[in-house]
Structure 1
């Protein structure tokens, strides 16, 4: 696809203001890659979701000849779940609606919109429908339903009334989208439920994609090491169970924990010498750490959204040929079992038994490792998946 005008609509991702292309996420990577042969405008907010700081730009900023950012002004927020954040999202949608009036002579050939935020996806879907422009809605999170999982069941009815506007907009977005794409089967099913859209030929799964890791070499250490990379949080993980298993194993077994979080001091207080806390680690650090590990563990809690996703860290592990062991049910468990790239455990006893089994049966461990590398290339390689998505865009434009 060459010479098209493409809009990307997405907030909450790192932006390449200072040539920072290495840390781009899904939308940013796609926008940058499409800009190599097309004109791209990425509409985003002037608030950094990660640092919680304002970005000192409003309006258009040129990245290169074919790639522009357009910063929509909004209010800051401090907490991810807060009225301030929801108000910020409302303002972004309102600002987008106002600013696109100035693009009447430069309309896009196709629009990519990330969902959520709901308000922004809603406004650009209305714009696309009004102007007969194909729009691809990428389901990245399960809003607003995810908020119901944080409250008791008897309050769900009242919460849905309070969130009625979001549910109405969500239904409109998914019903009117030319194409819905999603990061997993569970996420695509979420978008299609209750809107009678099943079997739409334009709706597809496009997994999160990464460049393959070519700078690593698997080692064969004397120790049996298991790595965890991610948030150190009781709300998100059952990391305590993993630590307790390693506390009871002998010194041949090590658990390496990479990451930061509110509960890190607690976990350090209950861990023995078999557990090593690395803190935040860079990509170069990971290149050196993961090849020495036999397994990557995903001890996420069985939450509504996690059960429907193939989570980032599992993909990162297999990009190094490292098998995955997880307590997470749903899409990830099914994917691991179908591709034979790891094991599932339901409790501490099963986790311990699986680790001891893989330590004893190194041939089986090597088989899982080979399958992991092959599965990554077949499903998550960025170059392959970008080519598929590019062809998908072409089919929608034509």
Structure 2
């Protein structure tokens, strides 16, 4: 027997799960029954998953081992097909399906679903841009990567609404969707600890938070450290395949590296942030992204950023003074020290843009246009 569900959220990746749960909470707060179709695969760790929250409905996907591989594309395609099949066979009286994109193939399959279920409202929530956000500049406009992007772009117009994780993505999406595209930033729970900054006065203390992978601009991080005319403490919170490369490279430019590993305890993490002058928000120039999760963590902690991310974040830093944008020129120790005056403004910026309350208001505004 089919389940009666008002809203179905379709999300392939466990890395987007926090956003899915936030959406679920908003819909449930207005009396909607919600289910989340997801995959049974941990995509970062490349392993099967069996730990699912309540109202999560997992479907099996084919495993893969390499991010840039035919196996990965096939796995995502099969998820798209199976998700639509599951949606059709298992749920009744659905009024809205909110699709997380990527995978791009999900847009194509969702368009087929919409054609046969015109009464159901469809939202595409573009959380990442593939292949645009991948560090493969010289290949992005060549097959098969160009076709990968077309899977998303050609069928966007069937949506009743398109949502973007940042304003930057609109520069691409607006070419294929001629109605308003709504920006819906990531959000945190807003139960932050009090910040008690105590960075050293005789040296510079910097932090890197997050995955240490092939899109992190390690060489630029180390150039900044090397060009400072003060000793540098470099705190690293996180892990990834490039961890040792980052540690070695920073040590080679005479930084005092303090590797904390993965830190989940909020008190411990806040203490590390309080001991720093600024956090690195550096990715390679080839990466197409307007806002990073790590930057929101920094903002919540009241920690100014050193930034190379274009689009939304570059604009925020430039207009509000919540960090320093690092382009072709490097940053000085005096600039970093001066950022300490902006810590309250950094936290205030978080409160105005990235809390659950702000997220809720924006979602309600979006669904008010759908006449559910």
> TM bucket by the smaller chain?
0.7 to 0.9
After TM superposition, give the deviation of residue 122 of structure 1 in Å. Answer: 2.6
Q: Which residue of 2 aligns with 1:49?
A: 43
Structure 2 counterpart SS, 1:397: coil
User: For each residue in 1:152-203, what CA deviation from the matched residue of structure 2 results, as whole angstroms up to 9, or x when unmatched?
Assistant: 36x834446xx53x4553234311111111111111222222x2x33x24x2
Task: Name 1:21's counterpart in structure 2.
Answer: none
Q: TM-score, normalised by structure 2?
A: 0.86
Instruction: Name the counterpart of 2:188.
Output: 210
Q: Does 1:110 align with 2:110?
A: no
CA distance in 1, matches of 2:255, 2:320: 34
> Does 1:96 find its partner at 2:83?
yes
SS across alignment from 1:276: strand
1:48/1:54 contact within 8 Å kept: yes
Partner of 1:180: 162
Unpaired runs of 5+ in structure 1?
16-23
Structure 2: which 5+ runs fail to align?
none
Partner residue in 2 for 1:12 = 13
State how 1:279-318 maps to structure 2 within 5 Å. Answer: 279-284=261-266, 285-306=268-289, 309-318=290-299
Structure 1 residue 333 displacement after superposition: 1.2
Counterpart secondary structure, 1:112: strand
How many pairs were matched up?
361
Q: Is the 8 Å Cα contact of residues 220 and 292 (structure 1) preserved in structure 2?
A: yes
What is aligned with 1:232? 212
Cα distance in 2 for partners of 1:26, 1:41 equals 14
Q: Which moved more, 1:71-80 or 1:329-338?
A: 329-338
**CA contact 2:217–2:283 (8 Å) conserved in 1:** yes
CA distance in 1, matches of 2:157, 2:133: 20
CA distance in 2, matches of 1:167, 1:248: 39
- Indicate if the aligned counterparts of 2:26 and 2:363 stay in contact, CA closer than 8 A: no
- Per the alignment, do residues 247 and 14 of structure 1 end up closer, same or farther by CA in structure 2, a change over 3 Å counting? closer
Q: Give the CA deviation at 1:331.
A: 3.0
The 1:300–1:279 alpha-carbon spacing in structure 2 relative to 1, beyond 3 Å, is same
The correspondence of residues 49-198 of structure 1 with structure 2, limited to 5 A, is 49-56=43-50, 63=54, 68-103=55-90, 106-132=92-118, 133-146=120-133, 150=136, 152=138, 156-159=141-144, 164=147, 166-193=148-175, 195=176, 197-198=177-178
Q: Greater relative contact order: 1 or 2 (C-alpha under 8 angstroms, separation 6 or more)?
A: 2
Deviations 1:264-315 (A, max 9, x none): 3233334035222222222423122112222111121112413xx1111111
Judge which range, 245-254 or 281-290, deviates more. 245-254
Q: Distance in 1 between the 2:258 and 2:219 partners? A: 14
- Superposed CA deviations along residues 200-229 of structure 1, whole A, max 9, x for unmatched, are 24x211111112243232223334422111
| Structure 1 residue 319: Cα displacement | 0.9
Distance 1:211 1:87, change over 3 A: same
Contact 1:47 1:76 in 2 (8 A): yes
- Computed over aligned residues only, the root mean square deviation of the Cα atoms, in angstroms, reads 2.8
Give the Cα separation in 2 of the matches to 1:167 and 1:345.
Answer: 30
Q: Structure 1-normalised TM-score?
A: 0.81
SS in 2 for 1:356: helix
